[in-house]
Amino acid sequence: GTPLFSGGNNPLSRLGSCVAEDWLPPSNALADINAKGCPVPCNPTWGSSDVQDVCGSSAACCQVRPLETKDCVFDPALGDGGCWRPVTGDDIVGLGGLDATDWASTAHATHQDPSGISCQLFAQGVPADVLDKNGLTTQDVLLACYHRLSVANQHGYCVFGVNVCPMAAPSFIDACEQINLDESRSGC
């Protein structure tokens, strides 16, 4: 779908990374206004066909930064009595998920669009004719944007020349997995 916080919508982003200008050849970088030369964003939790569609066959989608403890929520439906997992926009109060977060600016460490302000701007920027053509309202677009919000485990870049991304290595333990280990949770 349309990138919410990259490419042409890069000004809506609140979190970024410094990238050396010569890090990527132009053919592997974004050419969008406001994001020219930036690495192509991707989601490390996507399946291989989606990663290949976005990154190409010679790149991997690598997570940009590690999860932090504040990025984890307890999900009683997981494992043998509940497990900690990365929070998503689906967990925002009132959206039909866990009702585990208000997504406020201090609620999590690596969450996209704290307080949902950029989602509001994104939704308000969709032209009325596009909404009408698709049978949508601005509120529909806003809620869809909230549902797509995520934390660090879903923030990545297409990286060329790597076999295994550092945070995808079997030895890497993310913050939520560490909480589960510390609490001796099983089936997670």
Tens digit of each residue's pLDDT (9 = 90 or more) over 83-99:
999 999 999 999 988 99
Rounded to two decimals, the pTM is 0.82
Residue 2 in domain: no
pLDDT tier at 101, thresholds 50, 70, 90: very high
Beta strand 72-75 pairing with 156-160: unpaired
Looking at every residue in the chain, the average pLDDT score rounds to 87
Q: What is the pLDDT of residues 30-70, one digit of tens each?
A: 777 766 777 888 999 999 999 999 998 889 999 989 999 99
User: Residue 73: phi, psi to the nearest 5?
Assistant: -125, 150
Residue 188 in domain: no
Q: List the domain range (segments joined by +) for residue 111.
A: 7-182
**Rounded Cα distance, 166 and 65, in Å:** 10
Q: Tell me how many domains the chain contains.
A: 1
Residue 147 in domain: yes
Residue 63 in domain: yes
User: Residue 38: phi, psi to the nearest 5?
Assistant: -75, 150
Residue 145 in domain: yes
pLDDT tier at 182, thresholds 50, 70, 90: very high
